[in-house]
Structure 1
Amino acid sequence: MSMQKRIKSLVAEREGRPRGEMFPSLIVSADGIEAKGSYAEAQARFLLPDEVKIQELVNLLEEKKIGVVAHFYMDPEVQGVLTAARKLWPHIHISDSLVMADSAVKMAESGCKYITVLGVDFMSENVRAILDQAGYPEVGVYRMSDERIGCSLADAAASPAYMDYLAAASASVSSPSLHVVYINTSLETKAYTHEVVPTITCTSSNVVQTILQAFSEVPNLNVFYGPDTYMGANIMELFRQMIVMSDEEIANVHPKHDRNSIKSLIPRLHYFQDGTCIVHHLFGHEVVGKLNEMYCDAFLTAHFEVPGEMFSLAMEAKRRGMGVVGSTQNILDFIKGRVKGALDRNVDDHLQFVLGTESGMVTSIVSEVRKLLGSVGAHEGAKVSVEIVFPVSSESITQTTSETGDFSKFSVIPGVASGEGCSLHGGCASCPYMKMNSLGSLLKVCRSLPHDKENLSAYEAGRFSLQTPSGKLIADVGCEPILHMRHFQATKRLPEKLIQQILHSGSINGR
């Protein structure tokens, strides 16, 4: 513990502030896992899953050739089982939303007959559409609920307000237009918006490069980003910060830009004003204040979707080499890199990371950290421990009374129905939609395949037979923005087809 933190802890004790003001955390070491606080205990409960459940799932997957793609934000119970099961069955993949569809294609290539998707509905839609595009229409795709598994961001992009934003914004300018839409949206959204404004999808890890590349390739371009308001505001703030950087520093971000080009593009960058993730909405003023007070020497991780205060704090930490801002995969890679560095230095160390995203990430983090710490014998016995801090707002704790009615001692009630880690003000430390993907649902789907498909009709990820206003299939048009992004990822340039769509966007939009 640093001297600054010790002083603050002593001040807190002297002022009579309880230890409960510290955020809950998990401490991982070569000796095991220690949970501090009720919320951390709820997350840790399933890190070491039941071997019987693991083997039951593996047997079903092997027998029926079922692949599993799951998001990092998955329920801790099912994610713990999946993390253990993939050591026995290779066709299990846990990742961010972009890689899920790619992994499904690889599973189909390896002979899997079915793909189960543990995520929200737009993820199963993407998997279904990409498998069809890759030539695997016969591979079944199944979601984990007979009810809709929503997403606040996807819902925002499907709203009339979002279409009005694009229609009005694109019609108000005479220069070429590009819509950069977050991958976390439905296939319908991607299709409908692509017919209003030429569209490319993005992820939190490539959105900045996508926008900068587009501005560098198309003169006088206007970019409309959406639907995540926080991410849009954070991108705008990042570009404003770049104005005061040297041209050499800016070139390290993107080689085709300098201070003048960044300054000129800011008025031509627009973002939707009414779209938030109910998870990342959590990381606001109270959380940031406590991080400044109690975690001044910790590594800060933040998803690009967090509110501006948390973003600025993490960006400042990043400049000091003490933080990362980006996607879930960026966060995981950052933590792994810092742990590996500590082990390579061969000294005793305690690394503290603030997890500025959905708490479901912790399963993958703990798994990777334990792998690294498992090799500690090669470092002459250096003792390295890793603490993952959950910056849970006090508004996000479900309180229970004791038998005497005392609220001073509270605990987290696990489970979506009880509001696990959720705030009445809109933020959640764990996504209630993601928690609809239970281990019971996965086992039900696996047991029912292939002979009881009738009972799974509501679970199947259907194909889009509807058409866009221009008469094209939603599946075809909706996949094109994703393919545009694939091209950009492979070549670091926009595809020529998209550039032509942008240059002709005036006629497309009826201008």
Structure 2
Amino acid sequence: MISAGTPLFTVSELAAETDRLFKALLHVDCTPGKSWDYEACRQFAPLTLEINRLKKEKDAVILTHSYVEPEIVYGVGDFKGDSYYLSLMARDAKAKVILFAGVVFMAETAKILSPDATVIVPDRGSGCSLADSLTGDQLRQLKAAYPDAAVVCYINSTADVKAESDVCVTSGNVYDIIASLPQARILFVPDRLMGENVRTELQRRGVAKEIITSDGTCIVHDVFDAAAVADARLRFPGLKVVAHPECTPAVAAVADFVGSTGAMMKYVKTTPAPYYLMLTECGLVGRLQVETPEKHFIGGCRLCPYMKLNTLEKVRDALRAPRPDQIVMLDEDIRRRAARCIDRMFELAPKD
């Protein structure tokens, strides 16, 4: 695994790093066919040591989404979490270099909020079925059809779409922000299923809004099935089912809890149950296995092929000498308009 250009580390440094990784990843078992045993950690150690050394040399921080592999999150990540938290960290970062281990729209968000930093992404192919489902041109056409609507974009969207929107939202603040808007009609993009779940939740809260959506969905969350949830409840008495609002309304209706990545983690950590079924990406299960090793998860999660394009080798190479395609560049007019959209989210989001 060590390439010709990799610096040498002492036996004691490698042993200490292997022990650190093994202790952190001991309970992880969320990706079929992949292991985080001691031998795997021994193989990761030269890479994590080099990456952490490069961060210091280049004044870099690494933002890691919860869906990327645990050896990245716990081996080299400076900040780990969901889109909203990482947006805050990107906004407040003072580093010269921001490496975003996630997907491209997240790296774009980091560049929007930290324009003076060099923002890099390990794999330019790490797209998102939601973000890639709608372009700025397509949104302009929708806006022309609904000129009286407030345009609300989910954070899983491109910089072009954010630049055309009035306010950005995350799965954690979407209900409160939409409820606070004066417009009765809301054009919500790009997630159709989340839009349907928002409509249902606002009706439950007694908030009268007409929600119009585009037709994007998440390839991870749109495949979960309500019948499978019913079967799991029969096999595991006392099971708690935790779902993301990108799931179908049918799945959301039979879940015990529906919430953002951060909210799902908080729910599992604070809600006792003999078993948990996580209807989300497997990386979140990996984090919970690390941080709540006493909890029991029965499987059912799905892998995001885009998130899994992030590897330690790609992170290392991007920090060493990023290729032009790994450096996130944005038109300044688009960046400024997108920044206003995100700043509006920060203004309207509930303060904890």
User: Do they superpose with TM above 0.5?
Assistant: yes
Verify the 8 A CA contact 1:67 1:104 in the aligned structure 2: no
**TM-score, structure 1 normalization:** 0.59
**TM-score, structure 2 normalization:** 0.83
Q: Does 1:93 align with 2:79?
A: yes
Determine the structure 1 residue equivalent to 2:281.
358
Verify the 8 A CA contact 1:162 1:227 in the aligned structure 2: no
Name the amino acid aligned to 1:369.
T
Shift of 1:121: 1.2
Rate the CA distance shift 1:152–1:63 in 2: closer, same or farther, 3 A.
same
Determine the structure 2 residue equivalent to 1:117.
100
Which residues of 2 match residues 427-466 of structure 1 at below 5 A?
A: 429-448=302-321, 456-465=323-332
Distance in 1, Cα, partners of 2:351 & 2:67: 30
Shift of 1:105: 4.1
Distance in 1, Cα, partners of 2:73 & 2:168: 29
Rate the CA distance shift 1:238–1:438 in 2: closer, same or farther, 3 A.
same
Distance in 2, Cα, partners of 1:81 & 1:478: 29
Rate the CA distance shift 1:43–1:283 in 2: closer, same or farther, 3 A.
farther
Q: Does 1:369 align with 2:347?
A: no
Distance in 2, Cα, partners of 1:447 & 1:62: 12
Shift of 1:208: 0.7
Q: What is the root-mean-square deviation in Å for CA atoms of aligned residues?
A: 2.6
Tell me which structure has the larger Cα radius of gyration: 1
Partner deviation per Cα, 1:228-248 (whole Å, 9 max, x = no partner): 1111111222234x2xxxxxx
Verify the 8 A CA contact 1:69 1:118 in the aligned structure 2: yes
Q: Does 1:389 align with 2:298?
A: yes
Determine the structure 2 residue equivalent to 1:149.
126
Distance in 2, Cα, partners of 1:489 & 1:270: 19
Distance in 2, Cα, partners of 1:178 & 1:298: 39
Verify the 8 A CA contact 2:233 2:239 in the aligned structure 1: no
2:348 to 476, 483, 488: 488
Determine the structure 2 residue equivalent to 1:186.
158
Which residues of 2 match residues 229-248 of structure 1 at below 5 A?
A: 229-240=192-203, 242=204
Determine the structure 1 residue equivalent to 2:4.
none
Partner SS, residue 114 of structure 2: helix
1:300 to 241, 246, 262: 241
Determine the structure 1 residue equivalent to 2:265.
332
Aligned residues: 324
Verify the 8 A CA contact 1:53 1:81 in the aligned structure 2: no
Rate the CA distance shift 1:66–1:160 in 2: closer, same or farther, 3 A.
closer
Partner deviation per Cα, 1:331-368 (whole Å, 9 max, x = no partner): 11111113xxx6xxxxxxx7311111111112321222
Verify the 8 A CA contact 2:100 2:106 in the aligned structure 1: yes
Please, which runs of 5 or more residues in structure 2 have no aligned partner?
A: 1-25
Determine the structure 2 residue equivalent to 1:167.
144
Partner SS, residue 115 of structure 1: strand
Verify the 8 A CA contact 2:226 2:254 in the aligned structure 1: no
Distance in 1, Cα, partners of 2:324 & 2:31: 37
Distance in 2, Cα, partners of 1:40 & 1:143: 23
Rate the CA distance shift 1:296–1:163 in 2: closer, same or farther, 3 A.
farther
Shift of 1:463: 2.5
Determine the structure 2 residue equivalent to 1:212.
179
Verify the 8 A CA contact 1:49 1:81 in the aligned structure 2: no
Verify the 8 A CA contact 2:136 2:161 in the aligned structure 1: no
Rate the CA distance shift 1:210–1:43 in 2: closer, same or farther, 3 A.
farther
Partner deviation per Cα, 1:461-504 (whole Å, 9 max, x = no partner): 11314xxxxxxx11111111111111112679xxxxxxxxxxxx
Partner deviation per Cα, 1:304-353 (whole Å, 9 max, x = no partner): 11011210011xx2xxxxxx211000011111113xxx6xxxxxxx7311
Distance in 1, Cα, partners of 2:325 & 2:28: 41
Q: Does 1:200 align with 2:205?
A: no
Distance in 1, Cα, partners of 2:102 & 2:180: 30
Distance in 2, Cα, partners of 1:119 & 1:46: 24
Shift of 1:159: 7.2
Verify the 8 A CA contact 2:169 2:345 in the aligned structure 1: yes
Verify the 8 A CA contact 1:200 1:484 in the aligned structure 2: yes
Distance in 1, Cα, partners of 2:108 & 2:340: 14
Distance in 1, Cα, partners of 2:308 & 2:252: 26
Q: Does 1:313 align with 2:250?
A: no
Q: Does 1:226 align with 2:189?
A: yes
Q: Does 1:270 align with 2:211?
A: yes
Q: Which runs of 4+ in 1 moved over 6 A?
A: none
Distance in 1, Cα, partners of 2:215 & 2:100: 28
Shift of 1:81: 4.1
Partner SS, residue 74 of structure 2: helix
Rate the CA distance shift 1:303–1:57 in 2: closer, same or farther, 3 A.
same
Verify the 8 A CA contact 1:40 1:390 in the aligned structure 2: no
Shift of 1:221: 2.4
Distance in 1, Cα, partners of 2:191 & 2:180: 20
